[in-house]
């Protein structure tokens, strides 16, 4: 009899699976590769459902409802960090490493790309927020993204956060060193995930978590997926002419641009650029948009013109 289970984590073709009765067992793939032609590299991610046969081997993957991907430059392919999730917890912090709202902008893009809800969590809030941080997180709220300031160390904001995570599958995403694994350890004290420090010289994390891994939460319907921090999020899987659709604040202006297919990059009579000049679109978000546009346009040229 076939049996359905969820992947918690996997390495070197050994996967840890959780079954509907809560039992956890290891399994291997039946045959060397799973027949999935579009994703040769990591066809199974934490959160994926699979079928297991009588011998305990994985026979195939069930269809995904969604997946959080990033572009892996080295492998020139999409890398899935988590599958079938209810929401992405995008974590930033206010110090060590410094607040990097542009990283959050990119992570929001990756989530929206597959229609996944996101929430922004700002960690290491142990004193008053600087006006710059306040302003930028205020803008995220205005755009409709929930923002929760927390401190894993002092416990500030953690009750509110726990409510948002309750009975959902949440992937934790953010730069190395912001405190994703620290949060996990606080929510699930028995887990003991490895925590790294932050280099004093470079103010960066040390990439302590190297593998995405799903953890069953405090009740049977809550799951947390801890993912490895990345220095930069490459979003070059997005088409340049689609990028503007992932910026919700462009929505009300975009149809009034003079040129159809306007990329809002200094084209004549661009209503989006005008809105930015009038202070209706946050300067930093518009700058973020232009940088990403330049980057993905360039990446495409490099990929196709040779
Ligand atoms: N001040 C302060 N430091 C924190 C807090 N939470 C975590 N840290 C510290 O931040 C550093 C990095 O924490 P990790 O949990 O390993 O960070 P991570 O996001 O999992 O990093 P990667 O696994 O490399 O992606 C550690 O030194 C933690 O002690 C907090 O609330 N306040
Ligand atoms: Mg970690
Ligand atoms: Zn425009």
Domain boundary among the residues 198, 226, 254 is at 226
147: Cβ below 6 Å to ligand 1? no
Question: By residue range, what is the domain housing residue 255?
Answer: 240-304
| 75 within domain boundaries | no
| 68 within domain boundaries | no
Q: Are residues 96 and 165 in the same domain?
A: yes
User: How many other CB atoms are found less than 10 A from the CB of residue 40?
Assistant: 11
Domain boundary among the residues 63, 91, 108 is at 63
207: Cβ below 6 Å to ligand 1? yes
The pLDDT assigned to 207 comes to: 82
180: Cβ below 6 Å to ligand 1? yes
The pLDDT assigned to 305 comes to: 52
Q: Could you tell me the pTM of the whole model?
A: 0.93
Token look-up 């401190």 returns 151
Q: Are residues 48 and 114 in the same domain?
A: no
Q: What percent of the chain has pLDDT over 70?
A: 94
CATH code at 124? 3.40.50.300
209: Cβ below 6 Å to ligand 1? yes
d(CA 216, CA 23): 11
Backbone angles phi, psi at 216, to 5 degrees: -65, 135
**CA 105 to ligand 3 center in whole angstroms:** 19
Instruction: Name the more confident of 232 and 218.
Output: 218
Per-residue confidence at 107, pLDDT binned at 50, 70, 90?
very high
The pLDDT assigned to 79 comes to: 83
User: How many other CB atoms are found less than 10 A from the CB of residue 12?
Assistant: 6
The pLDDT assigned to 306 comes to: 43
Q: Are residues 46 and 89 in the same domain?
A: no
Q: What percent of the chain has pLDDT over 90?
A: 75
pLDDT reading at 234 higher than 70 = yes
d(CA 136, CA 67): 27
d(CA 85, CA 66): 7
Instruction: Name the more confident of 197 and 142.
Output: 142
Q: Which atom of ligand 1 is nearest to the CA of 154?
A: 31
Domain boundary among the residues 226, 260, 292 is at 226
pLDDT reading at 303 higher than 70 = no
């Amino acid at each position: 009899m076939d049996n359905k289970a969820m992947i918690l984590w996997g390495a070197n073709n050994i996967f840890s699976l959780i079954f509907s009765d809560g039992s956890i067992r290891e399994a291997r793939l039946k045959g060397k590769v799973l027949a999935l032609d579009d994703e040769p590299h990591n066809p199974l991610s934490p959160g994926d459902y699979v079928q297991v046969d009588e011998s305990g081997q994985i026979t195939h993957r069930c269809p995904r409802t969604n997946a959080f991907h990033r572009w892996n430059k080295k492998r020139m392919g999409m890398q899935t960090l988590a599958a079938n999730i209810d929401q992405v917890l995008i974590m930033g912090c206010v110090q060590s490493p410094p607040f990097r709202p542009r990283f959050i902008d990119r992570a929001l893009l990756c989530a929206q790309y597959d229609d996944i809800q996101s929430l922004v969590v700002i960690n290491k809030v142990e004193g008053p927020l600087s006006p710059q941080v306040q302003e930028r997180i205020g803008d995220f709220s205005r755009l409709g993204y929930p923002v929760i300031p927390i401190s894993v160390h002092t416990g500030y904001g953690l009750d509110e956060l726990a409510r948002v995570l309750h009975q959902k599958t949440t992937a934790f995403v953010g730069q190395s060193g912001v405190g994703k694994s620290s949060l996990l350890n606080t929510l699930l004290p028995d887990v003991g995930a490895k925590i790294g420090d932050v280099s004093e010289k470079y103010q960066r994390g040390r990439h302590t978590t190297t593998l995405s891994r799903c953890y069953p939460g405090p009740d049977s319907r809550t799951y947390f997926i801890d993912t490895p921090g990345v220095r930069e999020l490459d979003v070059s899987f997005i088409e340049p002419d689609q990028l503007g659709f992932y910026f919700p604040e462009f929505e009300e202006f975009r149809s009034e641009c003079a040129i159809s297919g306007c990329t809002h990059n200094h084209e004549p009579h661009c209503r989006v650029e005008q809105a930015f000049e009038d202070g209706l679109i946050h300067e930093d978000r518009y700058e973020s948009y232009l940088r990403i546009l330049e980057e993905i346009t360039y990446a495409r040229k490099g990929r196709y013109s040779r």
